Amino acid sequence: MIEQSLVLIKPDGVARGLIGEIIKRFEQRGLKIVALKMLHPTIEQAKRHYTEDIAKRRGEKVRQLLLEFITEGPIVAMVIEGVNAIENVRKIVGDTESKSALPGTIRGDFSHVSFEYADKRQIPVRNVIHASSSKEEAKKEIDVWFSIDEIYEYKRADEQHVF
């Protein structure tokens, strides 16, 4: 199943110079970047991304921290496409809670803060990256960050082995 997933390199990942390393990890595994841009999110975009659903799951305070965090500096947004892209991207990214992310994953290699620590200090979990968790979420999130004419179709050299 060919799928698309949204990936955001958050302000901490951009500030730490991790953009190239992160893109490399996806491309090395045969995933294709079909849209890519750097932008400084507006609060309106952030609210469309971090909807009221997150407040229901984690609380309004957590949502507010996420909104402040995602708008504090530039991010890199990309649409990644490939076979079972959502599941495969999530494996590469690692567990949402940084302290639980395995070494070799993006979060496991570049972040370590727990939800408990962040909650106690009332800070956002700076976990470098966001990746869609389902097909439905991917569709909604891609629509927040990209117009249809910003997503491209092309063939990678290695696609003959996959498609």
Per-residue pLDDT of the chain (163 residues; tens, 9 = 90+): 899 999 999 999 999 999 999 999 999 999 999 999 999 999 999 999 998 887 677 778 889 999 999 999 999 999 999 999 999 999 999 999 989 999 999 999 999 989 899 989 999 989 999 999 999 999 999 999 999 999 999 999 887 776 5
CATH number, domain of 16, equals 3.30.70.141
pTM of the predicted protein model: 0.93
| Angstrom distance (rounded) from CA 79 to CA 152 | 10
60 in any annotated domain:
yes
Strands of 31-162 (E only): list them.
32-39, 75-83, 129-131
What pLDDT does 120 receive?
92
Residue type (1 letter), 21 = E
69 in any annotated domain:
yes
157 in any annotated domain:
no
What pLDDT does 26 receive?
98
127 in any annotated domain:
yes
What pLDDT does 31 receive?
97
What pLDDT does 162 receive?
63
136 in any annotated domain:
yes
131 in any annotated domain:
yes
CB 88 within 8 A of CB 29: yes
152 in any annotated domain:
no
Place of tokens 């294709």: 32
Q: Domain range spanning residue 93?
A: 7-146
Active site residue 112: no
User: Active-site residue among 40, 49, 112, 130?
Assistant: 130
| Angstrom distance (rounded) from CA 66 to CA 51 | 11
Domain count, the chain: 1
